[in-house]
Amino acid sequence: MANLYKKTTLGNGLRILSVPMENANSVTVLILVGTGSKYETKDINGISHFLEHMFFKGTEKRPNTLQISEVLDSVGGQYNAFTSKEVTGFWAKVDKLHVDVALDWISDIFLNSKFDEKEAERERTVIVEEANMYLDTPMSYIGDLWEKLLYGDQPAGWMVIGEKENILSFNRKKAVDYYKTHYSASNTIVCVAGGIDSAEMENKVKNYFKGIEKTVEPQKLKATESQKEPGILLHHKKTDQTHFCLGVRAYDMFDERKYALALLSIILGGNMSSRLFIKVRERNGLAYSIHTSADETSDTGYLVTQAGIDHKNLERAVELILQEYKDLKDNKITEKELQKAKDYLKGITSLSLDSSDSQASFYGIQELFEKNILTPEEKFKIIDAVTAGDIKKVAEDIFVPEKLNLAVIGPVEEKDSGKLKQLLKI
């Protein structure tokens, strides 16, 4: 499965990754920039996401949104962008015959966007509606409340999309100022994966991106974490289900224990034969969907279980989840259960890497954050080396009261917090 990726760093600091895929018909061009909402201050929280939208509003060559979108629509391509806490990305996926179209298009919007004032005015209301959509979707919004509970009033705890008051204040000047101070050759990666020749692609990328400027690489404040007892955040909303996130603080991406944590999350709630899926859904019929995942960034990390349940079953669901947390802390898992989790993790990784967009992301994200790329095979060796004892050590470390947190959306009242807090024992 190994792909012989090639990395080149230009004199201005721009990194180019090329990942050839034998027999692939598609090519994905992915631009990753090392900035996001963790790089913002309170008064401009949401500007990273706002700026991402503005890249699609017109360049000198393609003056409006229609002309921007028609380019790749005309060749059946796929394209989009995304903003997170620590990275902003832009991508285009096309038939390999149209790779020059994709490169010309993505370099144009990235380097030559006009950030027109009238477009900025219009886009503010579009993003407010996007924010409203998230706020009206408890299954999505509960994740924001979970991170707010963990990190509070610091960038790690703010919503990527920003507060509505901020969004409505954004204009061309704020967008351009942020672009000039946070988009630099030195914190940008262009990754091209799929049916390509590495040498040829490297020359093309150099040509299309020769106009990128080098500025001072932006800095962010490191997230601080402080917790001495279980934490609770209740958000009252009239909903048909109560949605909750129950979990613990864990490890950042530079901690080697993240591999054991990933396996632990799979054992708990990573698939339809996981402990919590069987216990909470199949045995007790409390939830349609329940899932446990591990998340890590450059300076934070956590393990969290999320579910939607009938209001009356909240306490019971919390108790059942905590029972499984405690069991992993108190008892070593079997070799069979460990091997199943390893094979699952390696299997889903292999399946995902069939596509050129996943390959671009796999290599690009590693380079952006860790500046050290492991191939799938190298990652699999690390996963295979994890022992049942390693899993138990991680469980003993994270499943403690002072790392435990519960965020809830539903018809809950503040008076319910005391009763719920009493349940948070492990």
Question: What sections of 245-313 are H helices per DSSP?
Answer: 258-269, 275-276
Nearest to 37 by CA among 110, 88, 80, 89: 88
Catalytic residue among 52, 86, 324, 367: 52
DSSP character for 216? P
Asked if residues 87 and 365 have their Cβ atoms less than 8 Å apart, the reply is yes
- Token code pair at residue 54: 């503005």
52 is catalytic: yes
Residue 199 burial by Cβ neighbours in a 10 Å radius (0-12, 13-18, 19+): exposed
Lookup result for tokens 């000039």: 180
- Pairing label, strands 231-236, 301-309: unpaired
Give the C-alpha separation, 42 to 31, whole Å. Answer: 26
Strand order of the β-sheet with 26-33 is 6-9, 15-20, 188-194, 26-33, 88-95, 78-83
Question: Dihedral of the CA atoms 183, 48, 153, 405 (nearest 10)?
Answer: -100
- Known catalytic residues are 52
